[in-house]
Amino acid sequence: MEVFELTLADLRRALRRGDLSAGEATRACLERIARLDPLLHAFLYVAAERALAEAERADRRLRAARRSADDLPPLLGVPMAVKDVLVVEGMPCTAGSKILEGFLPPFTATAVRRLQEAGAIVIGKTNTDEFAMGSSTENSAYGPTRNPWALDRVPGGSSGGSAAAVAARLVPAALGSDTGGSVRQPAAFCGLTGLKPTYGRVSRYGLIAYGSSLDCVGPLARTAEDAALLFALLAGRDPLDSTSADLPLTLPDLEAASTSRPLRGLRIGVPDEYFVAGIQPEVEAGVRAAVEALAGLGAEVCPIRLPHTEYALPVYYILAPAEASANLARYDGIRYGPRLAGASPQEVMARTRGQRFGAEVERRIMLGTYALSRGYYEAYYAQAQKVRTLIRRDFEAAFERVDLIAAPVAPTTAFPLGAHRDDPLSMYLEDIYTLPANLAGVPGLAFPVGFDDQGLPLSMQLMAAPFREDLLLLAAHAYQQVADWHRRAPRLEGGAPQN
């Protein structure tokens, strides 16, 4: 079997057995990146020499451990990629923006550091919508990423580079961030398993902030088993992040998925509000078929209501831009990145921000500043916070009746590049099913459940009560024992992906 065909868990086992060296795995990833990434543009930076040096050190440690039976870090020698909104010491970090071009961070994000301490090799930084503001990775100042399943389609956003890299088997797994769906929607469009943890479950230290009350760091992988392995390493209290939760970690019992009815006793709710006019029929059919499969594994399925779902989109596009307008004030041409000349500090700031921010970032800064301005704060921002509370209470009420909520991830499969370029509202509507989980702070997991008639992946998301990621991962893993959608891969041969 080729290295690129191995899942994260398979690769980890092969390295420990000695069937494969970390150097061989890393070189295989680098060769595949060099050959295929020109088609995809998934990476903004590849740290080839650094990765090979780390692989050599990992191999020395692997060889020594086989002789002495020492315990090994769980990801020792495994190459991975990181979305370019998470800082890594010594690697450029742009957040997909010209305003941070050339910025070299002096420290490493906690989430990345935890994977490095577990032995993972960060092979490079992946493309993203500028400051994670987008649903297609077309807003990157460095050019769009393409979907490995169809090069004329978007990979989703804003973690589209990470998703494309994993889907094309350039790396076995990658980190992304999710503020309104930016892990789950790219996972859906690229046929992957993507986890948005509970807000506070994974440290945000070293994550370039977009919406501080919404941002989450999460893994993109091929299987629920891989996502569970990464989640176990990422989660936990971080003294450098005051919003991180100091709660015990409940991990899924994936061995239980091998029983005949592994989901017996699990209650799954299906909200009517997530199946409305405008949804692609194949998306709805795929989700409902997957729900039936979960029922066949022992789950009890029942209809539920989330009555304030229709307000999630306007609430999000008041609150997230408001937080962004404050967070992005620090990019002033003085402290970070390039500086355009001016006769005064004010002119330097105006010229740098005016020419180095992209159109979507400027749009959201203006929306947020307006919502926070005198005379409009109570009418917009304060009111949106009240409705956010109602959305959260909808989920609290639902989770008194059910353990999981099943829903689509997006209204359609991956749309063509440029389809929403001139219509921001239509682009915002792509996140209509993912935004509520961020507003409520609950975890969500996307995973593949089929393909449409154009060969594009279909996906479903499950949501759970806060800090019950174990239920999401168990249910998805059980489903992946009876379905093979997650095993299918795009074949990028001659520039034309085929499934």
Longest dimension (CA), the chain: 73
- Residue of 101, 342, 324 lying closest to 210 (CA atoms): 324
Catalytic choice (83, 125, 203, 459): 83
Q: Which residue has the tokens 């930084």?
A: 125
Kindly state the tokens that stand for 128: 């993203």
Q: How far apart are CA 100 and CA 92, in angstroms?
A: 9
- 83 three-state secondary structure: strand
d(Cα 473, Cα 461) in Å, to the nearest integer?
Answer: 11
- C-alpha–C-alpha distance, residues 468 and 181, integer Å: 18
Alpha helices in 96-183 (DSSP H): 110-117, 160-167
SS3 per residue for 202-269:
ECCCCECCCCCCCCEEEEEECCHHHHHHHHHHHECCCCCCCCCCCCCCCCCCHHHHHCCCCCCCCEEE
Please pick, among 140, 159, 177, 182, the residue that the annotation labels catalytic.
182
Structure tokens at 149: 């399943």
Q: What are phi and psi of 132, to 5 degrees?
A: 65, 25
Comparing CA positions, the residue from 164, 245, 249, 243 lying closest to residue 211 is 243
Q: Are 299 and 396 in contact (CB under 8 A)?
A: no
3-state SS, residue 450: strand
For residue 229 the two structure tokens come to 């392995």
Tokens of residue 145, six digits:
């990423």
User: Residue 402 in contact with residue 396, Cβ under 8 Å?
Assistant: no
Cβ partners under 8 Å of residue 277, min gap 6: none
Q: Which two tokens stand for residue 466?
A: 């806060």
Helix (H, G, I), strand (E, B) or coil at 235: strand
Residue among 100, 324, 113 nearest 204 (CA):
113
Query: What is the spatial distance between Cα 154 and Cα 137, in angstroms, rounded to a whole number?
Result: 7
Residue with tokens 């919502």: 371
Active-site residue among 136, 140, 158, 177?
Answer: 158
* Token representation of residue 121: 């090799």
Q: Please say if 260 is a catalytic residue.
A: no
Confirm whether 212 is a catalytic residue. Answer: no
83 is catalytic: yes
Of 163, 155, 144, 162, residue with least CA distance to 85: 162
Q: What are phi and psi of 357, to 5 degrees?
A: -85, 145
d(CA 49, CA 47): 6
CA–CA separation, 437 and 467 (whole Å): 13
Angle between helices 469-482 and 224-234 (to 10 degrees): 160
Question: 302 by DSSP, 3-state: which?
Answer: strand
Catalytic residue positions, numbered: 83, 158, 182
